[in-house]
């Protein structure tokens, strides 16, 4: 069985940046309230950089891009796609750490909460998490169980959506002729846009519902298909230079930073994500496919590139790290009365998150990843 090596050299850094944005929202953004920047440009800039929703959206677009690119590459190599091997690969990559976090959340988290005097009831339903439907559990909690606690396992909602996506996405490529692939992906995107427009005034549904998020995954997948099927598009991204990268970065930043100004209609929440996700797909494509050396190739951010392979652990484990630090702070009676105090807690929480993610990858996840290689036709850089 031929196994080619496919290495998207700049995407590890993108993963890390997305994970960092999620961490900043959960672990650091609370400290901003003590800075004298209220209603200033600096406050908006910090909130933009610490927007976990933006980070999650980047993850979704990236996932749609990579999965689609690899499925098409497997088809080109073997004239077929093995759904069985695809599912086995996803199980070995996603399930071990996911279920470890779920077990912690339902078995250990309630006890740890009691140590710091958090007695609000746990609103989560174990069956939702067991069946990768935790995003619907979050929807239920947000709408009907206000005051219930679910922080440590809430983070699994996006993993559940990705698993739902993985369940049906390869079927499109296996059972539909190649000429219909672009229509099926476009239908998913259009359907998601319509769903978002119908629910334009429900921010919880727009954020957590699978049909809302399929927009990101579909746009990433469409970009991968266009690169694979159109030589001019592929050539454009292969020739991405410093000027291309900086243009795409500025374009995407402007959309995110001024989204409230640029999209001011009743349907702003519904449609703004279409353009923002498309801008993420452009950046991901340019970084993944470029053959040019550039100072703006994100692999040059050595710290982000190094830690990029641990981002699954960083993402799933950071709420646990934050909670452990919170428990220690309360037990030691460490004050939380100014920016320095809260920011210091965030820094320590981030260091602890990196430690947990590296230990998880080295001593736990890697054991399953080594098995994953047996079912891989196109190897990627893990």
How far is the C-alpha of 267 from the C-alpha of 199, rounded, in Å? 9
For residue 122, what are the β-bridge partners? 149
pLDDT per residue as tens digits for the range 109-145: 777 777 766 666 667 888 999 999 999 998 888 887 6
Six-digit token string for 317 = 């484990």
Task: Work out how many domains the chain is built from and give that number.
Answer: 1
Give Cα 127 to chain centroid, integer Å. Answer: 23
Furthest C-alpha separation in the chain? 64
With CA atoms as reference, report the closest residue to 196 among 271, 126, 263. 271
With CA atoms as reference, report the closest residue to 22 among 357, 255, 262. 357
Range of the domain at 288: 4-380
| The predicted structure's pLDDT at residue 141 | 84
Give the residue ranges of the chain where pLDDT is below 70: 1-5, 116-122, 145-153, 377-382
With CA atoms as reference, report the closest residue to 311 among 8, 57, 16. 16
pTM: 0.94
How far is the C-alpha of 340 from the C-alpha of 32, rounded, in Å? 10
| The predicted structure's pLDDT at residue 372 | 81
How far is the C-alpha of 179 from the C-alpha of 187, rounded, in Å? 14
| The predicted structure's pLDDT at residue 154 | 72
| The predicted structure's pLDDT at residue 105 | 85
Answer for the pair 130, 102: CB distance below 8 angstroms, yes or no: yes
């Amino acid at each position: 069985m031929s196994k080619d090596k496919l290495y998207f050299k700049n995407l590890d850094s993108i993963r890390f940046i997305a994970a960092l944005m999620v961490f900043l929202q959960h672990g650091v953004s609370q400290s901003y309230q003590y800075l004298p920047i209220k209603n200033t440009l600096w406050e908006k800039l910090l909130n933009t950089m610490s927007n976990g929703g933006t980070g999650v959206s980047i993850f979704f677009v990236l996932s749609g891009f990579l999965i689609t690119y690899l499925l098409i590459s497997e088809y080109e190599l073997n004239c077929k796609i093995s759904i069985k091997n695809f599912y086995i690969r996803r199980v070995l990559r996603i399930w071990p750490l996911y279920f470890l976090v779920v077990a912690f959340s339902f078995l250990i988290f309630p006890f740890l909460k009691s140590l710091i005097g958090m007695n609000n009831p746990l609103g989560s339903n174990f069956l939702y998490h067991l069946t990768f439907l935790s995003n619907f559990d979050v929807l239920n909690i947000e709408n009907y169980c206000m005051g219930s606690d679910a922080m440590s396992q809430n983070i699994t909602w996006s993993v559940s959506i990705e698993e739902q996506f993985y369940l049906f996405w390869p079927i499109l490529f296996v059972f539909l002729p190649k000429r219909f692939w672009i229509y099926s992906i476009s239908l998913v995107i259009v359907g998601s846009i319509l769903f978002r427009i119908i629910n334009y005034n429900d921010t919880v549904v727009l954020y957590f519902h699978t049909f809302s998020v399929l927009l990101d995954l579909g746009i990433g997948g469409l970009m991968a298909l266009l690169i694979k099927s159109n030589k001019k598009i592929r050539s454009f991204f292969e020739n991405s230079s410093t000027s291309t990268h900086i243009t795409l970065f500025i374009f995407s930043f402007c959309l995110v930073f001024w989204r409230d100004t640029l999209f001011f209609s009743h349907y702003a929440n519904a449609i703004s994500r279409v353009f923002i996700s498309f801008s993420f797909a452009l950046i991901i494509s340019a970084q993944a496919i470029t053959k040019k050396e550039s100072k703006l190739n994100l692999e040059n951010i050595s710290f982000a590139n190094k830690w990029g392979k641990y981002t699954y652990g960083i993402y799933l484990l950071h709420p646990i790290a934050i909670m452990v630090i919170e428990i220690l702070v309360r037990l030691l009676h460490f004050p939380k009365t100014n920016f320095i105090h809260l920011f210091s807690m965030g820094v320590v929480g981030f260091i602890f998150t990196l430690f947990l993610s590296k230990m998880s990858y080295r001593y736990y996840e890697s054991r399953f990843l080594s098995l994953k290689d047996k079912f891989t036709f196109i190897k990627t850089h893990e």
